[in-house]
């Protein structure tokens, strides 16, 4: 069952800025990443989903309700962590969280307190003097305290140190494990790679590709890079049956692509060679998207 | 309808500023009301009034003294001519001079009466025989002639008038001996036209005119009329008495004036060539100039504008102007406007700009509710502010006293209401710009800029407004009054007790409501960068 569904969603700000024809379906319990460079349209998409901006054309629905028309109803189901962390003009984190609880109609703060403990957050601190990490945590508590079934996070880890980022992502993963639908944007591939079920790549306002992470992780073809001690070995191996995808003769290096189940055959063959090293080249989200973007540019060049 | 949580949040965010500004505003108001209440503002006005009244009175006295003097000379000369004519007629018919003279007197007086009446009519055709002016004209001449009366013709007709004021009776009008001599020698007319006779007449007029004027001006019915006239300066009879216009002071002033006039006239006439054709015209001209110069007052010698201005100052309700037009309409608006600009920006545009509005809107609070709650907060906080200034101003008025302040509690309430309505209208504008723009700097620049412009324009406009006396009023600056909504707070109308302020208040109310409504509609429909 789809929780968020956008159909040809377009918000045209003119001069090729905005988002164009976004088709995206996020199912119940799914965690979907949204990746793209700065200014590629991630935040615009998220604002459309929340109903803060009115689409130029196309629709976006949350639980079957169009966002713009039913913004105040759909946001009840959503916990939102905005990209820009700016709190209302209140004194401390406690003030803010209490005020937010009042907005959300929460009288029982136990869950909020659990979250605060888990995040090791001291909410008594002055909001203005909070570090970026503390602000981010406070914003996350505010988004999670009502225990909403949908989470929308706009670049939640930007500006956090690596340790904090891991802790942060752990909590999000936990929420995902509880069965929440999560839509998270980022411009960092790695953090989405490990957590998301699917990752959408947006570039210049267009969704270029939606990668299925389980398919990426369990690819049937693997690539190995091998360096030989001598030029002889290098030349001899080049004549073997393997599909060579890259040659770097000066280093006596070869990159081969073989089906995953045939890795044993490769090792057997290599027994007769003097190998300096052999390593598997991981196929990351980044490589995947780079390849796609390169192809895209190639296509454009060909058209021209 | 309203979000309690958001209202609380707005209270917490803006409460401190509200408290500080409100306290400062009330403190300022109390200072203005108490200090100017005790600062003897009335004494200033009274002093100005006294000066004006004194000047006006002195002018009256001087002008009238000259007037009487001239009139008496003219009247006496005419009387002489009439007398000579009648006397010669009677003598021609024969008879005893002793018995003829009273008859001649009587017929000459009756002729003189009609002559003077015609003269009065020439001045103003609406005069009748019984009008005070005609009587006065006749009286002034008659009192100077003081024709003989009584059994033996030894007493003058109006001797009582002179003696009652402790003055000596002016001697015989005709010296019987001289009259007889000239009559016998047949040069009576020549004698009457002689410089000798003229100087006699002038001396007599000089003596009589000041006495007649002083007597006339201190007569009870004339004093009453004068006080009636002075009512426009708010002068009571006690006040008039305190100015010290008694018989002797008036007489002194009048006599002095006449002496000056006579001396200067003689001096001027000597310079003239009496053979010239336009001699009479020239003489008349000199007389008018002299009368003007001698009797010209501080007020009438200044340009008309200045004169009106001084009159205005005399009539000003200074306390009402300081409190109403200066404090509530200008100085006292500054702090609330600053508060209103900052808060209206904080309530919407600031939160949209920073992004913190996202927390409110992602908590299922409708935009409609958000905008309504914020508008309610802004209006209520301004209302609260002016409720406190109302309380402060009423307390201060009670301390100063309605009598001293010359403004009522009703007017104080209207001043407060007016200031609130100005703020309401301007807050409508600022709330509108706050809703319209996503960037708080833009909302501030346009909403705040226009609000401050309104205030500055009102300040400049003040110098061209009716509050400033005509003399120092800069008419060009009045243009600014048409460029600011603060003009619609008509403090002058409130002070004067007219009802013009009502419809202006209504416009302010409508402007504010329009601003709030248009802003709200825009906020509900626009894209929010959250």
Task: Assign 3-class secondary structure to B368-388.
Answer: HHHHHHHHHHHHHHHHHHHHH
Picking from B278, B303, B328, the residue at the C-terminal end of a domain is: B303
Q: Picking from A12-16, A137-141, A287-291, B278-282, which range would have the lowest pLDDT averaged per residue?
A: B278-282
Determine the 3-state secondary structure of A5 from DSSP: strand
| Contact between A192 and A32 (Cβ < 8 Å) | no
B326 belongs to a structural domain: yes
Claim to verify: residue B250 and residue B371 sit in the same structural domain: no
Q: How far A176 CA sits from the closest chain B CA (Å)? A: 20
Picking from B303, B335, B369, the residue at the C-terminal end of a domain is: B303
Set of chain A residues whose Cβ sits within 8 Å of the Cβ of B6 = 103
Claim to verify: residue B321 and residue B219 sit in the same structural domain: no
- Long-range (24+ apart) CB contacts under 8 A made by B216-219 are B216/B136, B216/B139, B217/B61, B217/B64, B217/B245, B217/B250, B218/B245, B218/B246, B218/B247, B218/B250
B310 belongs to a structural domain: no
Claim to verify: residue B231 and residue B259 sit in the same structural domain: yes
Residue B527: count of CB within 10 angstroms of its CB: 16
Claim to verify: residue B280 and residue B331 sit in the same structural domain: no
Determine the 3-state secondary structure of A158 from DSSP: coil
Claim to verify: residue B279 and residue B399 sit in the same structural domain: no
Is pLDDT larger for residue A221 or for residue B458?
A: B458
* pLDDT at residue A152, as a whole number: 92
* pLDDT at residue A282, as a whole number: 80
Domains and CATH numbers, chain A: 2-217 (3.40.50.300), 221-281 (3.30.70.80)
Which regions in chain B score pLDDT beneath 50? 297-299, 301
B45 belongs to a structural domain: no
Claim to verify: residue B325 and residue B190 sit in the same structural domain: no
* Residue range A152-184, pLDDT digits in tens: 998 888 777 888 888 888 888 888 999 999 999
Residue B350: count of CB within 10 angstroms of its CB: 23
Give a three-class secondary structure readout of B121-160.
Answer: HHHCCCCCCCCHHHHHHHHHHHHHHCCEECCCCCEECCHH
User: Does A73 sit within 8 Å of B363, measured CB to CB?
Assistant: no
DSSP string for residues in B195-219: HHHHHHHHHHHHHHHHHHHHHHHHS
Determine the 3-state secondary structure of B359 from DSSP: helix
Compute the radius of gyration of chain A from its Cα atoms: 24
User: Does A87 sit within 8 Å of B362, measured CB to CB?
Assistant: no
Task: Please report, for residues B354, B376, B443, B446, B525, the alpha-carbon distance to residue B440 in angstroms, rounded to integers and kept in the order given.
Answer: 9, 20, 5, 10, 18
**H/E element, B360:** helix B357-361
Claim to verify: residue B367 and residue B487 sit in the same structural domain: yes
Give the separation between CA A140 and CA A121, rounded to whole angstroms. 11
pLDDT of A232 over the 50 cut: yes
Claim to verify: residue B332 and residue B361 sit in the same structural domain: yes
Residue A67 CB contacts under 8 Å (≥ 6 apart), including other chains: A48, A49, A50, A51, A60, A61, A74
User: Does A89 sit within 8 Å of B530, measured CB to CB?
Assistant: no
Q: Which pair of structure tokens corresponds to residue A81?
A: 């962590």
User: Does A73 sit within 8 Å of B364, measured CB to CB?
Assistant: yes
Mutate to test the interface with B, among A9, A99, A158 (most CBs of B within 10 A): A99
Banded model confidence at residue A302, pLDDT cuts 50, 70, 90: very low
Residue B245: count of CB within 10 angstroms of its CB: 21
Claim to verify: residue B79 and residue B184 sit in the same structural domain: yes
Residue A249: count of CB within 10 angstroms of its CB: 11
- Angle (CA) A33 A37 A40, round 5°: 90
Picking from B245, B272, B303, the residue at the C-terminal end of a domain is: B303
User: Does A86 sit within 8 Å of B367, measured CB to CB?
Assistant: no
Mutate to test the interface with B, among A103, A104, A136 (most CBs of B within 10 A): A103
Number of folded domains in chain B? 2
B309 belongs to a structural domain: no
B57 belongs to a structural domain: yes
Interface of A with B (CB under 8 A): 47, 50, 52-54, 71-73, 75-76, 78-80, 82-91, 95, 99-100, 102-104, 142-143
- Nearest-CA residue of chain A relative to B523? A52
In whole angstroms, what separates CA B304 from the centre of its chain? 12
Domain hosting residue B484, numbered range: 4-39+317-525
DSSP H helical ranges for chain A: 42-50, 71-74, 93-104, 110-118, 132-144, 162-177, 189-195, 213-217, 231-238, 263-270, 285-303
Claim to verify: residue B334 and residue B474 sit in the same structural domain: yes
B287 belongs to a structural domain: yes
Nearest to B69 by CA among B218, B222, B260, B289: B260
B33 belongs to a structural domain: yes
pLDDT of A298 over the 60 cut: no
* A102 vs B5, B361, B362: nearest CB: B5
B530 belongs to a structural domain: no
Claim to verify: residue B225 and residue B168 sit in the same structural domain: yes
Task: Tell me what the mean pLDDT of segment A104-119 comes to.
Answer: 86
Claim to verify: residue B120 and residue B265 sit in the same structural domain: yes
* pLDDT at residue B423, as a whole number: 95
Mutate to test the interface with A, among B14, B342, B344, B359 (most CBs of A within 10 A): B359
Set of chain A residues whose Cβ sits within 8 Å of the Cβ of B358 = 52, 80, 82
């Amino acid at each position: 069952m789809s929780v968020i569904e956008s159909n040809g969603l377009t918000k045209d700000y003119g001069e090729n800025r905005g988002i164009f024809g976004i088709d995206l379906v996020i199912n119940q319990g799914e965690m979907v990443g949204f990746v793209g460079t700065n200014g590629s349209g991630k935040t615009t998409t998220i604002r459309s989903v929340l109903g803060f901006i009115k689409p130029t054309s196309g629709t976006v629905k949350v639980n079957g309700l169009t966002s713009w028309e039913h913004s105040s109803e759909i946001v009840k189901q959503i916990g939102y962590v905005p990209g820009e962390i700016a709190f209302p003009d209140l004194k401390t984190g406690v003030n803010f969280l209490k005020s937010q609880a009042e907005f959300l109609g929460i009288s029982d703060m136990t869950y909020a307190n659990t979250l605060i403990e888990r995040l090791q957050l001291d909410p008594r601190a002055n909001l203005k003097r909070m570090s970026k990490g503390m602000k981010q945590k406070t914003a996350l508590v505010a988004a999670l305290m009502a225990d909403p079934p949908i989470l929308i996070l706009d670049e939640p880890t930007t500006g956090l140190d690596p340790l904090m980022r891991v802790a942060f992502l752990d909590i999000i993963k936990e929420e995902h494990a509880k069965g929440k639908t999560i839509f998270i944007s980022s411009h960092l591939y790695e953090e989405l790679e490990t957590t998301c079920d699917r990752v959408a790549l947006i570039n210049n306002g267009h969704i270029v590709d939606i990668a299925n992470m389980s398919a990426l992780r369990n690819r049937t073809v693997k690539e190995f890079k091998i360096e030989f001690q001598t030029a002889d070995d290098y030349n001899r191996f080049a004549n073997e049956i393997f599909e060579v995808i890259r040659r770097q003769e000066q280093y006596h290096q070869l990159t081969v692509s073989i089906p995953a189940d045939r890795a044993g055959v490769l090792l057997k063959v290599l027994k007769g060679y003097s190998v300096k090293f052999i390593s598997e080249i991981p196929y990351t989200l980044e490589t995947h998207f780079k390849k796609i973007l390169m192809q895209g540019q190639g296509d454009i060049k060909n058209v021209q | 309808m309203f979000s309690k949580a958001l209202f609380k949040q707005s209270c917490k965010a803006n409460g401190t500023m509200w408290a500080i500004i409100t306290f400062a505003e009330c403190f300022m108001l109390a200072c203005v009301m108490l200090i100017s209440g005790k600062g003897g503002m009335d004494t200033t006005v009274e002093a100005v009034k006294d000066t004006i009244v004194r000047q006006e009175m002195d002018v009256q006295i001087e002008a009238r003294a000259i007037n009487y003097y001239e009139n008496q000379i003219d009247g006496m000369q005419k009387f002489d001519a009439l007398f000579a004519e009648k006397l010669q007629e009677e003598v021609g018919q024969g008879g005893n001079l002793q018995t003829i003279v009273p008859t001649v007197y009587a017929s000459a007086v009756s002729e003189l009466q009609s002559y003077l009446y015609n003269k009065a009519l020439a001045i103003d055709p609406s005069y009748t025989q019984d009008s005070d002016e005609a009587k006065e004209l006749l009286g002034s001449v008659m009192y100077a002639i003081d024709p003989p009366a009584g059994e033996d013709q030894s007493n003058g007709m109006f001797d009582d008038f002179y003696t009652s004021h402790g003055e000596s009776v002016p001697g015989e009008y005709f010296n019987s001996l001289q009259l007889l001599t000239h009559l016998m020698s047949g040069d009576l007319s020549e004698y009457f036209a002689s410089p000798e006779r003229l100087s006699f007449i002038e001396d007599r007029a000089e003596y009589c005119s000041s006495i007649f004027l002083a007597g006339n001006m201190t007569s009870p019915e004339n004093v009453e009329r004068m006080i009636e006239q002075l009512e426009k300066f708010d002068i009571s009879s006690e006040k008039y008495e305190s100015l010290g216009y008694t018989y002797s002071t008036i007489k002194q002033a009048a006599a002095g004036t006449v002496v000056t006039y006579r001396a200067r006239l003689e001096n001027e006439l000597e310079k003239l060539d009496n053979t010239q054709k336009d001699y009479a015209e020239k003489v008349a001209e000199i007389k008018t100039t002299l009368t003007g110069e001698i009797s010209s007052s501080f007020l009438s010698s200044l340009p008309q504008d200045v004169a009106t201005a001084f009159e205005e100052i005399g009539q000003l309700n200074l306390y009402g102007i300081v409190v109403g037009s200066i404090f509530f309409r200008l100085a006292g608006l500054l702090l609330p406007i600053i508060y209103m600009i900052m808060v209206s920006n904080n309530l919407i545009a600031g939160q949209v700009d920073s992004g913190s509005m996202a927390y409110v809107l992602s908590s299922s609070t409708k935009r409609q509710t958000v905008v309504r709650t914020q508008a309610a907060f802004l209006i209520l906080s301004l209302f609260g502010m002016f409720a406190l200034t109302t309380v402060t101003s009423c307390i201060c008025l009670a301390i100063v006293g309605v009598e001293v302040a010359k403004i009522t509690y009703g007017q104080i309430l209207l001043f407060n209401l007016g200031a609130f309505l100005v703020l309401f209208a301007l807050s409508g504008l600022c709330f509108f710009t706050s809703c319209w723009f996503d960037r708080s700097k833009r909302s501030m620049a346009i909403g705040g800029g226009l609000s401050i412009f309104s205030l500055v324009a009102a300040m400049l406009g003040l110098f061209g407004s009716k509050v400033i006396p005509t003399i120092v009023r800069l008419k060009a600056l009045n243009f600014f009054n048409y460029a600011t909504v603060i003009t619609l707070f008509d403090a002058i109308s409130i002070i004067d007790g007219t009802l013009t302020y009502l419809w202006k208040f209504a416009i302010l109310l409508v402007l504010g409501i329009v601003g709030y409504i248009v802003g709200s509609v825009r906020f509900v429909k626009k894209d929010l960068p959250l």
